[in-house]
Amino acid sequence: MAYNRKVPEINAGSMADIAFLLLIFFLVTTTMDVDSGISRKLPPPVDINVKPPPIKERNVLIVLINSADQLLVKGNIGDISTLKRDVKEFLTPTFSGNTESPDVDGHPEVKQVEIEGIGKFWVSKGIVSMQNDRGTSYKMYIHVQNELAAAVSELRQEMSKRYFGMDFFVLLKKDPEKAKSIQDAIPMAISEAEPVSLGDK
């Protein structure tokens, strides 16, 4: 005698809820790669009716990056490992022999200004001009930008510790006025030119 057994039904009423909870779980716990960016405060728009002042060649450190991610620093083959040091040396006023003024041929011009909390200080007129090829990799572009910004940051750190005895970023939070004095003494003198076709040579 054959028995007709019924297959028990599966209650699928809560499957949608379970799937929804799993989806939320994976969205919350999964990490996603995010492209790194550059934290930089942009200058105000330039008035097109105002003629920019002339810039002397000695005051500009030109940094070029070609399509093969190679550096050319002021006409010479550069190295990313020494770029920060080169920029720091360029932006630091250089004294010569017996003169009190650090205005030395081959180095950027300087101007003496009165800075609150610091006094009279020689400020470099040097500007670092960066230009990359359209084929430059994003990784190299960011790397060079970071090295240029790090050079200015280290100069500010050294000056902050010398004059105020503390880390510049701590000073920035505790006493913005003194931090402003450091920024006036060592401005973020980095410009970026429009990308061009520099080639790979």
pLDDT at residue 58 is higher than 70: yes
Per-residue pLDDT reduced to its tens digit, 156-177: 999 999 999 999 999 999 999 9
pLDDT at residue 190 is higher than 50: yes
Give the model's confidence band at 86: pLDDT under 50 very low, under 70 low, under 90 confident, else very high.
very high
Asked if residue 169 is part of any domain, the answer here is: yes
Asked if residue 26 is part of any domain, the answer here is: no
DSSP state of 139: H
Distance CA 100, CA 104 (A): 11
pLDDT at residue 116 is higher than 80: yes
Instruction: For the chain, give the mean pLDDT.
Output: 82
Asked if residue 40 is part of any domain, the answer here is: no
Q: Is the CA virtual torsion 149, 150, 156, 157 positive or negative?
A: positive
C-alpha 22 chain-centroid distance: 40
Per-residue pLDDT reduced to its tens digit, 128-162: 999 998 889 999 999 999 999 999 999 999 999 99
Confidence (pTM): 0.70
Calculate mean pLDDT across residues 70-98.
84
Alpha helices in the chain (DSSP H): 15-29, 80-91, 138-164, 168-174, 176-185
What's the pLDDT at 25?
86
What's the pLDDT at 134?
87
Distance CA 188, CA 114 (A): 18
Boundaries of domain holding 172: 57-95+102-192
Per-residue pLDDT reduced to its tens digit, 5-45: 666 666 666 777 788 888 888 888 877 666 555 555 555 66
Give the model's confidence band at 98: pLDDT under 50 very low, under 70 low, under 90 confident, else very high.
very low
DSSP state of 53: P
Asked if residue 30 is part of any domain, the answer here is: no
Across the strands, what pairs with 127?
Answer: 60
Q: How would you classify residue 74: left for phi > 0, otherwise alpha for psi between -120 and 50, otherwise beta?
A: left
Q: How many domains does the chain have?
A: 1
Distance CA 159, CA 168 (A): 8
Beta carbons of 184 and 115 less than 8 angstroms apart: yes
